[in-house]
Amino acid sequence: MSAQKPSSKRSETIEIKISAMGQDIVFLVTGGEAHIGAVAIAYVSDEKYAIVKVLSLPGHREAELAAELAETASLAIGHTVAVLVGIHLDSPTRGDIEAIVEEARRKMRQLLNCWEFVGN
């Protein structure tokens, strides 16, 4: 028996927008009703691993995803990144949540795979 990847039409609402701030990059990750739920900042240390700091608003569950995406992006591009995540859907199922998280990961990987960072 093979495990099937959760799917959800709701995961199709995930968007990632990018803004440069000098050599640093800001990623805005939204879905459903956009808002700020959590912010993660990551940078690559001298030892070549990512240091991640997270702030989350009370009652929001995006902190873990923001931290994961920030770490992934910082290691991939080698610069400081900020990832702001705000995903709100009314009454999502567990399957919806799993699909949304996987879609955010997929879209971030896709962006980073085509990334051509000037000066990197």
pLDDT band, very low/low/confident/very high, at 60 (cuts 50, 70, 90): very high
Half-sphere exposure of 74 (CA within 13 A, CB side): 23
d(CA 46, CA 6): 38
Q: What is the pLDDT of residues 83-114, one digit of tens each?
A: 999 999 889 999 999 999 999 999 999 999 98
Domains of the chain: 9-113 (3.30.230.100)
Better-predicted residue by pLDDT, 62 or 117 = 62
pLDDT band, very low/low/confident/very high, at 9 (cuts 50, 70, 90): low
Q: From residue 50, give the alpha-carbon distance in Å to each of 14, 19, 81, 87.
A: 25, 20, 10, 24
d(CA 44, CA 96): 32
